[in-house]
Amino acid sequence: MPVDPESVDLPPNPGVYLFQTKAGRVLYVGKATVLSQRIRSYFSSNPDRAMIPELVRRADEIECIVTNSPQEALVLERQLIRQHRPRYNSMLKDDKSFPFLALTKEEFPRILYTRNPPQDAWKWGPFPNAGAAKQVVQLLRRFFGIRDKDCHGKNGCLASHIGLCRGPCVDPDGYPQLVSNVRRVLNGDATELIEELATQMDDFSQKMEYEEAARTRDMIKSVRSVTSQQVISSTVYRDCDAIGIGIKGDLAAIVVLHADEGVIKGQENWPVIHRGDEGESIAMFIVDHYSNRRPPKMILTPTPLSQIVIDWLIERRGGNVANKTPLRGDLAILSKLARQNAAIQVERLANKSSGSLEQRAADEGAVLLSMKSLDHIVCFDMAQFLGDSRVGASICLRNGRPSKKEYRTYTVKGDALDDLRMMSEVVERWIKRVDDWPDLLLIDGGQTHLSIISKVLEKHGVQDRMKLASLAKREETIHRKGEEDLVLDRRGRVLVHARDEAHRFVNKFHRKSRAKKKLTDPLEGVEGLGAKKLQSLIRHFGGRQGITHATVNDLKTVPGIGPSLAKRIYDSLH
């Protein structure tokens, strides 16, 4: 039943409003400086967006959350969109797959390249170009000595010896200043930082503290080396960003051109789910894009930004941010270039999504399981032979295709002989090392396997990071916790492919493991049988075949082989 405008009574305050159904499903999230006035526009006879009549028809009620300021409403809107992923809101496509850079807030902070940054860390990102983000980490470690692993400051690691870490075991007193400098570089304060360091260097020289002056000089050189890298100029220092958007149906591409002193330094491309309003898609992107990075002095956009967004950008930068929609001059040329690049990118995205059979299979599987996406699947399977050569393996599918560099094999270390305990051990080991959580963790097995692995995920507190399912071979049935079992049809072929690939891969590893075990010399593990005694045995019996056919009494006749050692040799061979 369409929402009734007479029943909507929102206050005249800034805040966020939510169109939702009786079942509690959120269809749309919006922000407003004055909630009561903003809501009236949705019931006008001439709506400004094509999706509004359908939104009003599908919604059963409108809820609101009042905030202290329009800027708070802007941040809350972004959080609620990420949480509920409403059908009628524009949003970044596959935003969970973009990496971040993070600095932990430990006593001696570490720099992380991660897709799931810690909540209490300093963050920069997300970055659509993963390679560029990794290069930033390499440069910062090389020039500043920021550590990337938790070594607890004990027994200096290799990184400290080769100059990649100046942490607690090298320079604990100077490390906080290094961290502060790295934060300023990533925040875009490179010029101001260089000026401050140059002043410090002059002061040290005048005081004849030449070692400190030389150290400061090296730091200036490091800052300049990092900020001069073109591949990361888009993330550490920018004067002007030109934003363009290309649209094709529900798919859009947003391009950001980063310019400094009138020269284009870099470009970032972002796929976006577009819901019919160009201005809303641009505003959504800007809030996402600059939430973990410092805005530039000027932003060029195809349509003017609202005052709420501009005020939020000024607050984020800590200084003035100009927003322009130029029609002529050099800035108009830069803005046009961003739009042209965006149009090219959206065509490439449309062709890619329509032409990939594997991606289509992943998308169909996501619809079948009522998931946002199935672009990243990890599947586990186990293998053994009468308790011998107990192994496990995991495979990874990206966009429906095998990502073989992410395949992993495991040799079971515990004494478990059943598949359930073996798989629990292997999944637990995987959890401790994973840094990119999949959309779906799939295991080969039935309801019991699902229950056991679900407890493993809960034990480590990662049950909310991904969906869990088990796939039983009988009738190709998918089991999920709290949901009805589902017999797969052709739409689930990506899941069957993942299970079959895991089965093939683990069996291949199992065959190799058993073959390697057969080639091992059984005499090598005999306690007390060293190289000299083994040589005596071979000489006495004329070779391995003679040793194999010898009795315990025969073995005792060899010099240096006593009764107990003879018995151990015989047992190992038989």
Asked which of 474, 497, 517 is the last residue of a domain, the reply is: 517
pTM above 0.85, yes or no: no
Asked which of 175, 210, 234 is the last residue of a domain, the reply is: 234
C-beta neighbour count of 256 within 10 angstroms: 25
**CB neighbour list of residue 110: distance below 8 Å, 6 or more residues apart:** 103, 104, 146, 147, 148, 149, 150
Are the beta carbons of 319 and 342 closer than 8 angstroms? no
pLDDT tens for 80-120 read: 887 787 878 777 665 556 677 888 888 888 888 887 788 78
- Predicted local confidence at residue 188, as pLDDT: 64
Based on the fold, state whether residues 215 and 110 are members of the same structural domain. Answer: yes
In the numeric block, which tokens belong to residue 275? Answer: 């819901």
- Look up tokens 């010898």; give the residue: 550
**CB neighbour list of residue 256: distance below 8 Å, 6 or more residues apart:** 234, 241, 242, 243, 267, 268, 270, 289, 338
Higher pLDDT, 212 or 50: 212
pLDDT tens for 202-231 read: 888 888 888 888 877 877 776 665 554 433
- Predicted local confidence at residue 378, as pLDDT: 93
Provide the CATH number for the domain around residue 499: 3.30.420.340
Amino acid at 30: G
Give, for 61, the enclosing helix (H) or strand (E): strand 61-66
pLDDT tens for 481-507 read: 888 888 888 788 889 899 999 999 988
Q: Are strands 483-487 and 408-411 parallel, antiparallel or unpaired?
A: unpaired
**CB neighbour list of residue 513: distance below 8 Å, 6 or more residues apart:** 389, 391, 411
Helical axes 175-186 vs 190-206, angle rounded to 10°:
150
Higher pLDDT, 32 or 93: 32
Whether the per-residue pLDDT at 267 is higher than 90: the answer is no
Query: What is the extent of the structural domain holding 129?
Result: 97-234
Provide the CATH number for the domain around residue 563: 1.10.150.20
pLDDT band of residue 235 (cuts 50, 70, 90) is very low
In the numeric block, which tokens belong to residue 60? Answer: 């059963």
Asked which of 178, 213, 234 is the last residue of a domain, the reply is: 234
For 84, half-sphere exposure in the C-beta direction (CA atoms, 13 angstrom radius) is: 22
Question: Is 360 within the bounds of a domain?
Answer: no
User: Which region among 166-180, 324-338, 402-416 has the lowest average model confidence (pLDDT)?
Assistant: 166-180
DSSP string, 177-244: HHHHHHHHHHTT-HHHHHHHHHHHHHHHHHTT-HHHHHHHHHHHHHHHHHHT-GGGHHHH--SEEEEE
Whether the per-residue pLDDT at 238 is higher than 60: the answer is no
Whether the per-residue pLDDT at 364 is higher than 90: the answer is no
- Look up tokens 């293998």; give the residue: 383
- Look up tokens 């999944």; give the residue: 427
Rounded distance between C-alpha atoms, residue 232 and residue 297, angstroms: 18
For the chain, counts of helices (H) and of strands (E): 20, 20
**CB neighbour list of residue 317: distance below 8 Å, 6 or more residues apart:** 294, 295, 296, 297
Report, as an integer, the average pLDDT of 274-303: 83
Q: Are strands 388-398 and 440-444 parallel, antiparallel or unpaired?
A: unpaired
**CB neighbour list of residue 508: distance below 8 Å, 6 or more residues apart:** none
Based on the fold, state whether residues 106 and 153 are members of the same structural domain. Answer: yes
Based on the fold, state whether residues 169 and 109 are members of the same structural domain. Answer: yes
pLDDT band of residue 441 (cuts 50, 70, 90) is very high
C-beta neighbour count of 38 within 10 angstroms: 17
In the numeric block, which tokens belong to residue 267? Answer: 């470009």
Based on the fold, state whether residues 511 and 375 are members of the same structural domain. Answer: yes
Question: Is 305 within the bounds of a domain?
Answer: yes
User: Which region among 201-215, 427-441, 521-535, 543-557 has the lowest average model confidence (pLDDT)?
Assistant: 521-535
In the predicted model, what is the mean pLDDT of the chain?
A: 79
Provide the CATH number for the domain around residue 305: 3.30.420.10
Residues in the chain: 574
Based on the fold, state whether residues 375 and 348 are members of the same structural domain. Answer: no
Are the beta carbons of 245 and 302 closer than 8 angstroms? yes
Based on the fold, state whether residues 378 and 508 are members of the same structural domain. Answer: yes
Q: Identify which of 558, 555, 528, 258 has the alpha carbon closest to the alpha carbon of residue 567.
A: 555
Question: Is 335 within the bounds of a domain?
Answer: yes
Rounded distance between C-alpha atoms, residue 47 and residue 540, angstroms: 100
Based on the fold, state whether residues 369 and 512 are members of the same structural domain. Answer: yes
Based on the fold, state whether residues 175 and 272 are members of the same structural domain. Answer: no
Based on the fold, state whether residues 154 and 213 are members of the same structural domain. Answer: yes
DSSP string, 246-303: EEETTEEEEEEEEEETTEEEEEEEEEEE--S-HHHHHHHHHHHHTTTS---SEEE-SS
Are the beta carbons of 128 and 115 closer than 8 angstroms? no
Residue percentage of the chain with pLDDT more than 70: 82
Based on the fold, state whether residues 343 and 373 are members of the same structural domain. Answer: no
Question: Is 226 within the bounds of a domain?
Answer: yes
C-beta neighbour count of 419 within 10 angstroms: 20
Residue percentage of the chain with pLDDT more than 90: 5
pLDDT tens for 65-88 read: 888 888 888 878 877 887 787 878
CA distances from 188 to 298, 323, 351, 446, 507 (A): 14, 19, 36, 52, 52
Q: Identify which of 124, 35, 131 has the alpha carbon closest to the alpha carbon of residue 77.
A: 35
Q: Identify which of 278, 213, 214 has the alpha carbon closest to the alpha carbon of residue 244.
A: 278
- Predicted local confidence at residue 380, as pLDDT: 93
In the numeric block, which tokens belong to residue 59? Answer: 């919604």
- Look up tokens 């927003």; give the residue: 323
Amino acid at 333: I
User: Which region among 320-324, 392-396, 536-540 has the lowest average model confidence (pLDDT)?
Assistant: 536-540
Rounded distance between C-alpha atoms, residue 327 and residue 440, angstroms: 47
Question: Is 454 within the bounds of a domain?
Answer: yes
How many domains is the chain built from?
Answer: 5
DSSP string, 311-331: HHHHHHHTS--EEE--SSSHH
Q: Collapsing DSSP states into helix, strand and coil, what is residue 543?
A: coil
Whether the per-residue pLDDT at 381 is higher than 80: the answer is yes
Burial code (b: 16+ CB inside 10 Å, e: under 16) for 292-324 equals bbbbbebbbbbeebbebbbbbbeebbeeebebb
- Predicted local confidence at residue 379, as pLDDT: 94
Higher pLDDT, 112 or 165: 112
Rounded distance between C-alpha atoms, residue 454 and residue 472, angstroms: 16
Question: Is 24 within the bounds of a domain?
Answer: yes
C-beta neighbour count of 4 within 10 angstroms: 12
Question: Is 359 within the bounds of a domain?
Answer: no
Question: Is 64 within the bounds of a domain?
Answer: yes
- Predicted local confidence at residue 262, as pLDDT: 55
Based on the fold, state whether residues 429 and 464 are members of the same structural domain. Answer: yes
Based on the fold, state whether residues 117 and 221 are members of the same structural domain. Answer: yes
Long-range contacts, stretch 461-465, CB < 8 angstroms, 24+ apart: 462/431, 462/437, 465/116, 465/437
